[in-house]
Amino acid sequence: MLEKLGRNLPCWCGSGKKYKSCHMAFDEKISHYKDMGHTVPTHKMIKTPQQIEKIKESCKINVAVLDAVAEKICEGMPTSEIDRIVYDTTTKMGGIPAPLNYEGYPYSVCTSVNEQVCHGFPSDKVILKSGDIVNVDCSSILDGYFSDSSRMFCIGDVSAEKRKLVQVTKECVELGLEAVQPWGFLGDVGQAVNDHATANGYAVVRDIGGHGCGLEFHEDPFVSYVTHKGQEMLLVPGMIFTIEPMVNMGSAAHVTNRTNGWEVSTRDGLPSAQWEIMVLVTEDGHEVLSW
């Protein structure tokens, strides 16, 4: 729900201008979509220019951390070493790894190998071997602002079948990104992702997905990949969210580790891949903030 604001009061965006000469027409346009039955964003989901600057600084750390991982990750490395690289790089740059102690999550990063879908625990006992595919999911906090993105890495000699899964999943994110535009809909993104995955014979995980991000780690809206073009939340300039489909080679079904309550794996044991980007909706399209 958009809060009503007096015409002569300062605009909610922090510009210092009067509402009527700043975001009033913008809010009226959003209300119009709402009247037509669409779900629309709240003001909290629409970041101000000052907030966007701060979030971009956080994203710079996140990208640098992933770059540091990319430089060092190799066959024979235990995933606990990735956790160390992430913690050290983030804190050296003045940030805090967002996963650490998040709802009890015990590490600085998620490392999900092969059939692991997401939230894989870094471990001394998980040694990366030739043929593995691994998702490294980094999230950072800088000055209270959040960033979140992940990449896949192919270790040594990976089968053509698994390399294709990794590549197609990346293409899914790229196609989802192309669908991000102001006054479009979140379902445009979901459908673009899903169409490409299913056209390649894969299945997209249904109940775990992307999210608004920036002022908090996980904000509304939920970004699903089983949605349809022209449906779901209206996209407006200033919204920031992640696109992070988990694409399974076999069925979309997954199971959660009963011992730790976090690690998610495919039920059929077949590989799963995920890439995650954080994107800003702009006046004329979109801008990738973290990848």
- Can you give the binding site for Co ion, defined by CB under 5 A? 148, 242
Least separation in angstroms between CB 145 and ligand MF3: 15
Provide the 10 A C-beta neighbour count for residue 149: 28
Residue 110 interacts with which of Co ion, ligand MF3, none, CB < 5 to 8 Å by class: ligand MF3
Least separation in angstroms between CB 206 and ligand MF3: 16
3-state secondary structure string across 88-100: HHHHHCCCEECCC
Least separation in angstroms between CB 276 and ligand MF3: 5
Name the pairing type of β-strands 285-290 and 110-113.
unpaired
Helix, strand or coil for residue 144? coil
Q: Which is nearer to ligand MF3, 26 or 262 (CB)?
A: 262
Q: Which is nearer to ligand MF3, 158 or 177 (CB)?
A: 177
Least separation in angstroms between CB 207 and Co ion: 14
Q: Which residues bind ligand MF3 (CB under 6 A)?
A: 99, 102-103, 105, 110, 119, 137, 139, 148, 244, 276
Q: Which is nearer to ligand MF3, 185 or 241 (CB)?
A: 241
Least separation in angstroms between CB 99 and ligand MF3: 3
Compute the distance between CA of residue 70 and CA of residue 116 in angstroms, rounded to an integer. 19
Residue 119 interacts with which of ligand MF3, Co ion, none, CB < 5 to 8 Å by class: ligand MF3
Q: Which is nearer to ligand MF3, 11 or 172 (CB)?
A: 172
The H-or-E segment that residue 256 falls in is strand 254-256
Q: What are the CB-based long-range contacts (under 8 Å, 24+) for 207-212? A: 208/117, 208/118, 208/246, 208/254, 208/264, 209/244, 209/245, 210/241, 210/242, 210/243, 210/244, 210/245, 210/276, 211/241, 211/242, 212/45, 212/239, 212/240, 212/241
Residue whose C-beta lies closest to ligand MF3:
99
Residue 196 interacts with which of ligand MF3, Co ion, none, CB < 5 to 8 Å by class: none
Q: Which is nearer to ligand MF3, 27 or 83 (CB)?
A: 83
From 4, 36, 40, 37, select the one nearest 23 (Cα to Cα).
4
